[in-house]
Structure 1
């Protein structure tokens, strides 16, 4: 028996890139035209960051809570669990994040960020809505295997990070999205998928912007 340290992540993967993306194709075929509603929700979240008005944060977090809950059930439990025994655990994490986002929708929101952090937040949300559907044809997989916000986990996590940055969400709400970014990126890397870098890049951009903004506010408050 080999020593445990000789194993890599690829030794534990129970599926190939072809099987992984075939699930999205099957889900997209079964759920269409729900994609229109999901993208409309995503655009509503982006609009809430572009024109932040009273109640915008409640709407944004409420829609994100629904998106995380739907991905937990419709994708992770109903489909991804067929090829990955860890999927129920991922679904539980997405359920917890949905509850945290719902809590944020009910509490009094913090004032949104301004300046460069706001622009970064809007960019990250927009990337979650626009980049992931385009990655499929760019990678030669066809539109049927596209990943859409509110239905697939990666674009949902990406857009969420932008919202967390924009509305200055407390650090506990960052843990599960960042953990998913790391897990998904590692999986895609082992599957030799070219887009493995996209999610951690956006996560790093959002996290650094949030840290820099918080540090700047502490510095201003100390003066």
Structure 2
């Protein structure tokens, strides 16, 4: 019995250097990844966020997006920074008012924009731009007169959230005078990421462009 105990202790002591070396290697790799991510932050213009901050208090690390390499994370950031654009049309001519000089309404432009690749194939995400608008009829053709209350958000996604920081609109002509409202929102997608064991939050700036045409 004593011999077995001695062997167990000897084996444990023999494995200690390997465990220490392994831990040291992991720590070094995480530190190297951290430096690479901080360099990417400067090069690509996104913002790193401490995952221990209140902003991430309701997010579990198991929901963080996982990347096998810094290269995969870089490609993800570049793809996420591309401008988003979507167009919709509404037929309002049949509702031509006989008395009202101007009509008020609201609309939500939304489009399917799932996260794909990097283990996120088909992760549901809809991007939405909600707003109020007014229009009138001139020669039986609808013309926008005003857009207000612009608000953007994401739905169907529990690993990231959206923060709108700016908005604007422009009334233009596509087929008939002032038949199109072009709406632009800017903001950031906020999410947690895990790159080979290094966890960090990221705010990725995005621009969404939506347009609504009346006919």
TM-score by length of structure 2 reads 0.27
TM-score by length of structure 1 reads 0.26
* Structure holding more helix per residue: 1
